[in-house]
């Protein structure tokens, strides 16, 4: 008896590690040598390519493609139909499997619906990628980025609330009351 749930239409290849309490829904394909942490939720029609690593409590919404080279830390949210790439210059007639670039998504980051993360660009912890954004460069911890190409528009708290910094570089999350410091264009929780 397994300690995770997989819908009868899901395909799970051999060699996967799937954590307790994880749910894998309709028509999703978990390919060989993937690691899915505890309590993940893999939505409908999701592809998780070989060697992908997802931490605990990662929420993957419907129609998401997670390609080889991607790792996500705990508590990451991947919105509906968002996609990661793994080759910078794909061509059908040119095999570039040796050129896959890695992408890492930090703890607590959220990536909105229909966003695209171009390979080789890491997403910082608690970053917030707006719906439809096309990420073409590194995203700092706590950054809010939107648009095509994605540009930073501000900062977000760990609760997903926009931060407004005073002259001393201090902001308070409206939802949690937690304080943050902005110094040298980097945010940290205090």
pLDDT in tens, 142-166: 999 999 999 999 999 999 999 999 9
By percentage, how much of the chain surpasses pLDDT 90?
97
β-strand 162-163 against 151-156: which pairing, if any?
antiparallel
DSSP state of 123: B
Question: What's the CA gap between 142 and 52, in Å, rounded?
Answer: 24
pTM of the entire predicted model: 0.95
pLDDT in tens, 4-26: 999 999 999 999 999 999 999 99
What domains can you pick out in the chain, each with its CATH number?
5-88+99-155 (2.160.10.10), 157-190 (no CATH)
pLDDT at 1 over 80: no
Q: pLDDT band at residue 97, thresholds of 50, 70 and 90? A: confident
């Amino acid at each position: 008896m397994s300690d995770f749930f997989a819908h009868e239409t899901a395909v799970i290849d051999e060699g996967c590690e799937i954590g307790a309490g994880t749910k894998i829904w309709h028509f999703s394909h978990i390919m060989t040598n993937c690691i899915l942490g505890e309590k993940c939720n893999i939505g409908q029609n999701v592809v998780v390519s070989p060697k992908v690593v997802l931490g605990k409590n990662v929420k993957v919404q419907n129609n998401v493609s997670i390609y080889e080279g991607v790792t996500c830390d705990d508590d990451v949210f991947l919105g509906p139909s968002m996609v990661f790439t793994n080759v910078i210059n794909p061509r059908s007639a040119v095999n570039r499997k040796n050129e896959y670039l890695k992408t890492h998504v930090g703890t607590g980051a959220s990536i909105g619906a229909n966003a695209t993360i171009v390979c080789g660009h890491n997403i910082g912890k608690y970053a917030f990628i707006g719906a439809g954004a096309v990420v073409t460069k590194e995203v700092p911890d706590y950054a809010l980025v939107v648009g095509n190409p994605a540009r930073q528009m501000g900062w977000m708290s760990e609760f997903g609330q926009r931060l407004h910094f005073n002259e001393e570089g201090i902001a308070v999350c409206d939802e949690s009351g937690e304080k943050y410091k902005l110094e040298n264009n980097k945010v940290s929780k205090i």
